[in-house]
Structure 1
Amino acid sequence: MKLLFNSLIFLLLFFQLNAQEKSATSLIKTPKSVLDDFMDQRFGMFIHWGPVTLRGTEIGWSRGLGVPTEEYDNLYKQFNPLLFSADAWVKTAKDAGMKYLTITAKHHDGFCLWPTKFSDYNIMSSPYKKDILGELAKACKKYGIKFCVYFTVLDWHDPNYPIHISGAKADPNANMDKFVMTMKNQLEEIITQYDPYMLWFDGNWESPWTPEHAVDVYSFIKKLNPNVIINNRLKSISTNVAAGNDHSILSPTAIGDYATPEQKIGTLNMKDPWETCMTICEQWAWKPNDNMKSLKQCLQTLIKTAGGNGNLLFNVGPQANGQIEERQVKRLKEMGDWLKIYGESIYGTKGGPFVPNETYAATRKAKKLFIHVFERKSATLSLPVLPGIKVNKAYFLKGAKITYTQDTNGSVTLQLPEQLPNADASVIVLELNTNAGDIPV
């Protein structure tokens, strides 16, 4: 009897998984050419911003924790960022060498940075009364930056969403059907009015949000615009909350286009697209005197990400007055200055074939293998074996030739000068006798 019961359970799970797979294969996929273009961008700006900057605490998560809920929910009445300039923000991204920009249109606190018709809790209810998304979309077009939108699934402010405080029990009076309809209506506004290149979802881990909801919303989006790119945070990858919150992998059952490791650099992956999201300081939203990463940390984060075949979505948190801190603007400009010289080794490249480490990371394009050297530990740098591949030439990008030797087994040793051209990251180009992209990992 027990054997029969277990067999029935197995069959039930089999048919359920089979149905999910069929459902996933029937969904509209983002064209490969569009996704390849996205991965070629390599570097984007993430922006977390809203009324919470008046308190300098974390967006969404400090609601009821650090800032009393009632106080948090009424901060919008004081939110008047008179020094906000979409042009200045986007130019900062442009000067940093960034290719796309992602703004938190709605975070977990539910406040909307555009004049949505489906919630009064939006920018037009604040003293400021200007369409932040509209102005950013316009400025992005002006500077040739791809405009993208962050949109959370969960919304602790909306009475129709069952959970009103993180970790609280579900409200029996909430109505998920109405909530999902509001979500669809707001996404339709964003897609039809602002034409985002990519939608960056979040907040998919709470139990009221089911895989069926995710598939429904995904299908709705793709009917509006089949080319819009979607990350892997619309559908939880597991019924287990802890596993469902691991966005660093692209699950076989995911309905999005790419993985999103958070506050860590993803591992070398030539199969699945991925994008690391990381803060330039420590907090996502603005925090007074927050610790900021050094230029070396910033550059090596970007390089190791590209070396792992991923994109970097680098976060800034503008102040309550609407300005990005000058020190952050300066640091981003320093990254842009490096990219003006060495950008060839980042944009449009593949990662690998070597796993990035603390000494170097590699990228590749056409017949060039780019070795990004972070530190001179000795007079020579030995690389892993490149079997059957010959190095024809070695030199610093935009600089002098490098002396090198290559053994018959393909092992390459580079002679390093006493002082590297760039203290944070120097780039050595190896010109090969074959396409570097074909080197196996």
Structure 2
Amino acid sequence: MRKLFTTILFFGYLLNSWAQQHNTSTNYIPPTDPKVQAKLANWQDLKFGVFMHWGTYSQWGIVESWSICPEDEGWTQRKGPYAADYTTYKKAYENIRTEFNPVKFSPEKWVTAAKAAGMKYMVFTTKHHDGFAMFDTKQSDYKITDSKSAFATNPRSNITKEVFNAFRKEDFLIGAYFSKPDWHNENYWWPYFPPKDRNVNYNPAKYPERWQKFKDFTYNQIGELMTDYGAVDILWLDGGWVRPKNTIDPAVDWQKAITFEQDIDMARVAKMAREKQPGLIVVDRTVTGEFENYTTPEHTVPDEPLPYPWETCMTMGDSWSFVPNDKYKSTNQLIQLLVKIVSRGGNFLLNIGPSPEGDWAPEAYNRLQQIGDWMKINGEGIYASRSVAPYEHQNIYYTQAKGKSVIYAFWLSDKEDVALPATLQIPLNKINQVKKVSLLGRADKLTWRFKGNSLQIQVPTKLQKKSSLKQAATFKIEY
């Protein structure tokens, strides 16, 4: 029955990972705190990070949290033996913690692979919308360390602390994903009323004391993460429907469905969090204002640079959380995404969903190793780079070294092995002369000439036939 249930759920929930789009906010307000400004500038130079969606839902191999949300959408549909009745299903879902026992959990293995891939920061799901805490919260017993959870007796049961410590030891910036809505909390989904959708199921204005309890609960949980888990650099808040009503954008479909005022007092939360973690970057996703220090276009690469800090978050497979036999993007796809995002001035936060046993799929390790091999050669054009016009030309994408007269032109290959043409034409904007041109990873001398804002490179025959380069070739142009 367990295998049958997992198979049914897998086919029911093998999602198009575009299902939950998060529109980019407008009217960006830059932070004024010098410590936040400094940390944000440092974060922008890192360019590449790892994201992890992990919770009890991984045990069933289903979409994270959304199957308990009573909305008629593709990513919320219930499947399996409990699906016919919502109450039965939710009870079974909340009982997954008695099965979820990730005995292969070893965050040191993850950080080794992520570091080898050239990743520099991480964001981990401390709590998703279902309300299950992957940390030892004192505000709820619905958590990984509670006696009802199968993993509670493991000496590493406080998973968030273990993950943060492992990545921090290797100098990663530490990001705490935290869901503002909590579908387990009685003061968000009050048991007196059935939930109707993702939003609070009562009117907070009519029951202000109940809503205040939820605000305090949220404040206290975030306070725990900011107090007991070492240095935290990013507070990455999801669930943008929990927001002041005056911030709703009526042009966005999912925001139209927000009926009630759901203000959790971000000023209070941010003030407390930054007192405990000076310089903390706060990312209140999709909620325009002073608490969205960078924006997070999801599964999207902007056509042009954005005029504020931003990060594309995207899955390595098709799903955010673990599903059996997920289809992983090729190394070529992932490197091209990285180049395109960085050419627009953004960061790339790449998600990997750990398995119920507590490990990543072999494909994930393989992709990270190959990305790392490429980054060892080409990373100088990625880190601490800035966007530079013309941004792209055909299959060529540009970056500029921060504070230097150096442009990197990435020639993207449509195959894993790079096969360069005999002649390359690279347009350049507002450059009077070129002093040197080289190909990263190769010592071959290139023949080139610069004329009329265009660089023409003659590629040696041996480089055309066998360059030994993979995925993308990077030309370093010094001027």
Contact 1:101 1:145 (8 Å CA) reproduced: yes
Identity of aligned residues (%): 31
Per-residue CA shift, 1:86-143, capped at 9, x if unaligned?
A: 2112212112111111110000111100110001110112111210011112211322
The CA distance in 1 between the partners of 2:32 and 2:215, in whole Å, is: 19
Query: Residues 37 and 279 of structure 2 are in contact (CA less than 8 Å); yes or no, is this contact kept in structure 1?
Result: no
Q: In the alignment, residue 287 of structure 1 is paired with which amino acid?
A: V
Counterparts of 1:33-432 in structure 2, within 5 Å, are: 33-64=38-69, 65-66=77-78, 68-125=89-146, 126-129=149-152, 130-162=157-189, 164=195, 166-167=197-198, 170-171=201-202, 175-194=210-229, 195-206=231-242, 207=258, 208=260, 210=262, 213-233=265-285, 236-237=287-288, 253-269=289-305, 271-356=307-392, 359-365=395-401, 366-375=404-413, 378-399=421-442, 400-407=444-451, 409-416=452-459, 417-419=463-465, 420-432=467-479
**Matches of 1:26 and 1:411, distance apart in 2:** 39
Q: Deviations over 1:206-258 (max 9, x none)?
A: 5356456333323332333331112241x623xxxxxxxxxxxxxxx352211
Task: Give the direction of change, closer, same or farther, for the CA distance of 1:212–1:387 in structure 2 (3 Å limit).
Answer: same
Q: Contact between 1:229 and 1:257, CA under 8 Å: does it hold in 2?
A: yes
Change (3 A) 1:25 1:278: closer
1:400-434 Cα offsets, whole Å, 9 max, x none, are: 23322211x322223345245424111111011xx
Tell me, yes or no, if the aligned pair for 1:405 and 1:412 is still in contact at 8 Å.
yes
Q: Quickly say closer, same or farther: Cα 1:326–1:113, change in 2 above 3 A.
A: same
**Amino acid of the structure 2 residue aligned with 1:424:** Q
Question: Which amino acid is 1:219 matched to?
Answer: K
Root-mean-square deviation (Å): 2.4
- Displacement of 1:150 after TM fit? 0.3
Q: Secondary structure at the match of 1:102?
A: strand
Name the SS of the counterpart of 2:464 in structure 1. Answer: coil
- Partners in 2 of 1:27 and 1:350 — Cα distance? 22
Match of 2:416 in 1: none
Given that 1:382 and 1:414 are in contact with CA atoms closer than 8 Å, whether structure 2 keeps it comes out as yes
State the partner residue of 1:15. none
Question: What does residue 248 of structure 1 align with?
Answer: none
Counterparts of 1:300 and 1:38, CA distance in 2: 21
Aligned residue-pair number: 393
**Which amino acid in 1 is paired with 2:170?**
Y
Shift of 1:178: 0.8
* Partner deviation per Cα, 1:378-415 (whole Å, 9 max, x = no partner): 533323342343111111013123322211x3222233
> Residues 180-202 of structure 1: CA distance to partner in whole angstroms, max 9, x if unpaired?
11111111110111221111111
Normalising by structure 1, we get a TM-score of 0.83
Distance 1:29 1:225 in 2: 14
Q: Normalising by the residue count of structure 2, what TM-score does the alignment of the two structures yield?
A: 0.76
User: C-alpha separation between the residues in 1 aligned to 2:263 and 2:212?
Assistant: 14
**2:409 partner amino acid:** I
- The answer on whether the counterparts of 2:55 and 2:64 sit within 8 Å (CA) in structure 1 is yes
Taking structure 1 as reference, are residues 270 and 51 closer, same or farther at Cα in structure 2, changes over 3 Å only?
closer
Assess, with a 3 A threshold, how the Cα gap between structure 1 residues 30 and 175 changes in structure 2: closer, same or farther. Answer: farther
What is the identity, as a one-letter code, of the residue corresponding to 1:183? T
Aligned residue type for 1:367: S
Cα 1:345/1:25, change in 2 over 3 Å: closer
SS in 1 for 2:130: coil
CA contact (8 A) 1:30 1:229 kept: no
Gap change, CA 1:138 and 1:288, over 3 Å in 2 = same
User: Aligned pair in 2 of structure 1 residues 40, 356: CA closer, same or farther (>3 Å)?
Assistant: same
Amino acid at match of 2:187: N
- Which range moves more in the overlay, 155-164 or 181-190? 155-164
Which structure 2 segments of 5+ residues have no match?
1-26, 70-76, 80-88, 243-257, 414-418
Q: Distance in 2 between matches of 1:225 and 1:110?
A: 24
